[in-house]
Structure 1
Amino acid sequence: MRPATDLAAGRPAAPAPGPDLPLDGLLRRAAAVAPDRVAIRTPLGDTSYADLDAEVDTAAGALTAAVGRTGAVVGVVASLDVPFVVAYYGAVRAGHPVAVVNPLMGDDALVHALGTAEVAAVVAPPRVAERLELLRPRLPKLGGVITAERLPTGLLPPGERGPAADLDAVACIQFTSGTTGAPKAVRLTHRNLVANAAQIAAVHGLDGDSVTVNHLPLYHPMHLNSAVYAAATQVLCPDSAPTAAVTAANRHRATHLYSLPVRLAALAADPGLGELRLDTVRAVLSGGSALLPAQARALSDQFGVPVVQGYGLAETSPLTHCERPADPRPGSVGRPVPGTDCRVVDVAGRFALPTGERGEIQVRGPQLMAGYLHEDGPATDPDGWFSTGDIGYQEADGHLFLVDRLKDVFKHENWLVSPTEIEQVLIRHPAVLDCAVADHPDPSAGAVAHAFVVLAPDAGPLDGPNGPAAFVNGRLPYYQHIRHLDVVDRIPRSPNGKILRRTLREAAAAAPTDRPPGDPT
């Protein structure tokens, strides 16, 4: 096939919104224009923008005193509370890059992340602080472990501020998900993060009248920065129950509800869904992994509002695409956010593909990282394109559809097989409560599909013409047929719901190789 140009992907992008401010300057600006507006509402009370900015000032001074030198990296554990916000912006205001730490990581992963970022001090909730104290012998560069609730609060003397920020300096270190290898440390600048906050606010329709419900297990800077950019009110909902966010949204007259696909899927399956309503929410927004179209449709039909998805990576601050609430497209992750270009390229030849053809997704824009920590060389090609490692295709109007991770797809003979596409059929079988697919080495075909399923309580026979494998194999071409099937107690997933396919691939490779094809066990 000759190289082709995708006109939809190549059209000039709209200018990226966003002021020339340091990251913490977004909070300073919000406090100036709306000092008495509630910035964050939690079950423990409200914090205004003026009070939040004052607490950040004091935390900046406290962190500098604790670390002892400007520029040292401060780790902040991503807990869903006000102390996270104070420590996050406080570190940045004091001139310290902030490394956002996931408390759900295991000890080895936690040590890897903090060691890679060379964190000098960590601000953490008491429970995580206790873990870090035990891990301190494995972290020789770690100095203080500061309990978040004990950060000083109150005003600093006038004029006592951190150093003026270089907008192209690193403000935040985010870690990749680590689903296919050890997490990488991503260097994000003030300019990256402010641009993306503006992009998100624009496509989500956030402004000073917005009230957002955050129903995530952890605080993600994406939701924090975009709400602060808009001077919106954020309602934190720490209750993981599927219906808790609905209750919170109605109580506080929210305009936006943010959640994870795994929580929205549970809400869609909740027996009481038919009794629920959303009084003031204009859109339900999902991200982090894929939400099945049927689940999104069930929620949208019940609540009468769009359920939209987005797409992004740690390397892109993170959002690059989002469905517009006024223009949802089932199965799509939306069009590029303002100022962002996207194209799809041939996996082998690296040339741009026409609309509708599958290949690797590439993006470029002002939110693209400065690079990986401790890695030399450019992260992009000479034209600024970043290869995402995801397979997908675009429609003519720019709507992007994800197919799978490049590292997850495999070859059966000469066919490229997407585990996700098989899973989307497999999950429709009534005996299957949850599922995942990985490649199983095969001497003649290269690899075949190996399914792992969690059974529903009333599951019937797994073999025969009505079993899950037969169900899938009767609906997909031969190269996507399930050749092996194992029943498991749970599907291994990351904290944000992504399948840990590397773990499944290892299990598939270790499974017996003498099973007859098409004979799931």
Structure 2
Amino acid sequence: MASTEPAAVADSTTRAEPLETIAELIGGPRIDDLLHRAAGRHPERPALRSATGDLSYAELDAQASACASALRALAGGPDEVIGIAAELDPVFAVGYFGITRSGNVAAIVNPLLTGERLLHVLSTSACRVLIVSPRLYPALAEVRGRLPELRHVVLTERAPELGQEAQALPVLGELMAAAPEFIPAERNAQEEQEAGRVAGLHFTSGTTGAAKAVRLTHRNLTVNAAQTVSGHRLDASSVIFNYLPTFHLMHLTIGVCAGATHVLWTDDDVAAAVAAASRYGVTHFYSLPMRLTRLAAHPALRELEAPRLRAILSGGSTLPPSSALALGQHFGVPVMQGYGLTETSPSTHFDNIDRPKTGSSGVLVPGTEARIVDVDTREVLPVDAKGEIQVRGPQVMKGYLGRDLSRDVDADGWFSTGDVGRIDAEGYLFVVERIKDTFKCDNWLVSPSEIERVLFRHPAVDDCVVFDRPHPVSGAVAYALVVPRSADADPGELAAFVNEAVPYYEHLHHVELVESIPRSQTGKVQRRDVREQWLAAHGG
């Protein structure tokens, strides 16, 4: 497997090794070619393991073709938008590869969305067909009348509790059983044209406004799957443990790209999850910071073992260093984070599994470049200077739906991420903050996340969030909401603890003790919403 470690750099611009180093991992011009290749190489190997049983690569490939035939009959095509709810269930894998194999475009729908947000996703994407689980159907029923372009709704399974209207809807398995044999559509003569077609619409998290639909091509997704397999050191002997509340496409594509076995685990008990990982012989454990933090503090951690484990991989938000240290020391494996966005398919950086660096998001994946630019002047900054992260590579999106790519990617191919970070002399990226969450105090750029990291080191802090409070002289100053671990926590002591460790412009001017801090299903704090709620409650 190729190394992902870049050479030392003079300024913040870093360049990874060329794509040729992972060429053998790219199974063809289309994302569903990854599955067809894996089925040819490892037909009997379990592709997916879950509570409903095992699905081999040959079975998954056959089901994807049956699904493609059923969807082609239902939606026509090519290039019709078919939505699918990303439940952590084998049906997502069957449905996703079925949509793409049918020549249509997959719109990935978060199954945790409520009515209005679901309406936004489906109407923005002009979704014609939606494959939906009974779990999401009630939210869909609320807004179905406002979706004139949605022609067909297909359930993943029968659910008598949903009522008479839902019972009349088709079920995916029934459509697949009745579908004719799948005949692949004739492809373009040029593979590059096929690879450049849009494979899916993926929605941003919406933390800085309404969620945007990102157009990702087959090439974006196949290349990034191979880049990630390289960065995570995956191969056909790997066993991936997927311990997230929804099915992220990256985990599906990297498992198939490597020909690995992919375990789907939905039990919220973190200790039970590790026990299951041990039984399955898991090598790569994927989860969210909030679950890994709970695991690190679990009283049964000392008794938990996972003998084949090679790495714990965290994504979605920043994992507290103390949690990473506790898990790394106990299991004796690197606890890794990466960096990427929906717009980059999603990954650009991964921590080096052979030489991880605490607090970093790692080094570039093959075929990718990154640099740090001044937030205002856009000049390229030197090593270790903080500014906006820009990236360039084959995984950068084709553009937002309904918007020209030139508005978001410059003439040289650089995409501005909206994140503040720095790159050290060895090419490791350290992500600091979203630009919209940073503020200036006395014209110094302040990152609330960096202040939070210091706060989390205090033993009295269970959770916290820092945001800017308007100040008549400095422009803005740092303010913290803290969930204490005990009733006798002293806000003044917490502020002093932080202020001794940070420069003056990052000083906390006030600490307020609260019972809880609102977080999303993936553990993210909507900092802007918290700030606006606080300002509204305190008269601006």
Q: Same fold (TM over 0.5)?
A: yes
Cα deviation for residue 12 of structure 1 reads 6.1
Equivalent of residue 454 in structure 2, options 418, 425, 437: 425
Amino acid at match of 1:427: F
Question: Structure 1: 5+ residue runs without aligned partners?
Answer: 515-521
Instruction: Tell me the amino acid that sits aligned with residue 28 of structure 2.
Output: D
2:246 alignment partner AA: L
Aligned-residue offset at 1:102: 0.6
After the TM superposition, which residues 463-482 of structure 1 pair with which residues of structure 2 at under 5 Å, given as runs? 463-464=491-492, 466=493, 468-482=494-508
Are the counterparts in 2 of residues 492 and 503 from structure 1 also a CA contact under 8 Å?
no
The 1:504–1:237 alpha-carbon spacing in structure 2 relative to 1, beyond 3 Å, is same
**Would you say the 8 A contact 1:57–1:155 is kept in 2?**
no
Mapped to 2, the partners of 1:387 and 1:312 lie a distance apart of: 12
How many angstroms does 1:489 deviate by? 3.3
What TM-score, normalized to structure 1?
A: 0.93
Separation of aligned partners in 1, 2:298 and 2:182: 53
- Higher percent of residues as helix: 2
Query: What do residues 386-419 of structure 1 show as CA deviations (whole Å, max 9, x unaligned)?
Result: 1111111111221111111111100112111110
Cross-structure match for 1:517: none
Tell me the distance in 2 between the aligned counterparts of 1:227 and 1:40: 9
The aligned runs of 1:114-263 (5 Å cut-off) are 114-149=122-157, 150-152=171-173, 153=176, 160-162=183-185, 164=187, 166-263=194-291
Verify the 8 A CA contact 2:289 2:319 in the aligned structure 1.
yes
| Partner of residue 536 from structure 2, selected from 492, 510, 521 | 510
Q: 1:62 and 1:156 mapped to 2: Cα distance? A: 5
Q: Is the 8 A contact 2:16 2:364 kept in 1?
A: no
Aligned to 1:445: 474
Match of 1:112 in 2: 120
Which one is further off, 479-488 or 165-174? 479-488
8 A Cα contact 2:66 2:182, kept in partner? no
How far off is 1:287 after superposition?
1.1
Asked if the contact 2:283/2:308 (under 8 Å) is kept, the reply is yes
**Aligned residue runs from structure 1 range 66-105, under 5 A:** 66-105=74-113
2:52 to 36, 44, 47: 44
Q: Give the aligned residue type for 1:99.
A: A
User: Quick one: distance in 1 between partners of 2:15 and 2:236?
Assistant: 32
Distance 1:154 1:255, change over 3 A: farther
Instruction: Give yes or no for contact 1:214–1:234 (8 Å, CA) kept in 2.
Output: yes
* Structure 1 contact 203–322 (Cα < 8 Å) conserved: yes
Deviations 1:328-361 (A, max 9, x none): 1111110000111111111111111111111111
Q: State yes or no: 1:406 paired with 2:435.
A: yes
Identity %: 50
Q: 1:301-354 CA distances to partner (integer Å, 9 max, x unpaired)?
A: 000111111110000000100012111111111000011111111111111111
Instruction: Indicate how the Cα distance of structure 1 residues 250 and 377 shifts in structure 2: closer, same or farther if over 3 A, else same.
Output: closer
Relative distance call for 1:511 and 1:159 in structure 2 (3 A) is closer
Aligned pair 1:15/2:16, yes or no?
no
Distance 1:69 1:256, change over 3 A: same
Across the aligned residues of Structure 1 and Structure 2, the Cα RMSD in angstroms comes to 1.8
| Superposed displacement of residue 181, structure 1 | 1.0
Contact 2:27 2:37 in 1 (8 A): no
Choose 189-198 or 114-123, whichever is displaced more.
114-123
Distance 2:513 2:115 in 1: 29
CA shift at 1:143, angstroms? 1.7
Contact 1:209 1:232 in 2 (8 A): yes
Distance in 2 (CA, whole Å) between partners of 1:374 and 1:21 is 25
| 8 Å CA contact 1:122, 1:145 repeated in 2 | yes
Tell me, what secondary structure is at the counterpart of 1:325? coil
Distance 1:447 1:420, change over 3 A: same
Distance in 2, matches of 1:230 and 1:322, equals 17
1:53 aligns with 2:61: yes
Count of matched residue pairs: 507
**Range 67-76 or range 88-97, more displaced:** 67-76
- Cα distance, 1:478 vs. partner? 2.5
Aligned equivalents of 1:488 and 1:146: distance in 2?
A: 44
Match of 1:363 among 387, 391, 408: 391
Alpha-carbon distance between aligned partners in 1 of 2:111 and 2:472, rounded to the nearest angstrom: 42
- Matched residues in 2 for 1:221 and 1:344: separation? 28
Q: What is the rounded CA distance, in whole Å, between the counterparts of 1:168 and 1:433 in structure 2?
A: 47
Rounded Cα–Cα distance in structure 2 between residues aligned with 1:26 and 1:274: 39
Query: Could you say which residue in structure 2 is the equivalent of 1:376?
Result: 404
SS class of match (2:292): helix
Query: How far is the alpha carbon of 1:170 from its aligned partner?
Result: 0.6
Task: Tell me which residue corresponds to 2:162.
Answer: none
Please give the secondary structure, in 2, of the residue aligned with 1:126.
Answer: coil
Aligned to 1:519: none
SS in 2 for 1:499: coil
Measured after TM superposition, the shift of residue 13 of structure 1 is: 3.7
SS across alignment from 2:19: coil
Q: Secondary structure in 2 aligned to 1:327?
A: coil
Q: 1-side partners of 2:507 and 2:11: how far apart?
A: 35
Instruction: Provide, for residues 70-124 of structure 1, a one-character-per-residue CA deviation record: whole Å limited to 9, x for no partner.
Output: 3210111010011111111101111111011111123211111111111111111
Shift of 1:156: 6.4
Judge conservation of contact 1:129–1:146 (CA < 8 Å) in 2: no
Shift of 1:493: 2.3
What do residues 341-384 of structure 1 show as CA deviations (whole Å, max 9, x unaligned)? 11111111111111111111110111110000111241211111
Contiguous gaps of at least 5 residues in structure 2:
1-8, 158-170, 189-193
Could you tell me how far 1:215 is from its partner in structure 2?
0.5
CA distance in 2, matches of 1:196, 1:429: 39
Distance of 2:512 and 2:146 partners within structure 1: 38
1:325 aligns with 2:353: yes
Q: Label 1:103 to 1:11 Cα distance change in 2 as closer, same or farther (>3 A).
A: closer
Q: In 2, Cα distance between the equivalents of 1:162 and 1:493?
A: 45
Deviation at 1:431, TM superposition (A): 2.8
Q: Aligned to 1:407, what secondary structure does the other structure show?
A: helix
1:518 maps to what in 2? none
After TM superposition, the structure 1 stretch with the greater mean CA deviation from structure 2, 469-478 or 20-29, is: 469-478
- Which deviates the most, 387-396 or 193-202? 387-396
| Aligned mates of 1:210, 1:475 — CA distance in 2 | 42
In the alignment, structure 1 residue 337 sits paired with structure 2 residue 337: no
Tell me the amino acid that sits aligned with residue 508 of structure 2.
I
Q: Which amino acid aligns with 1:151?
A: L
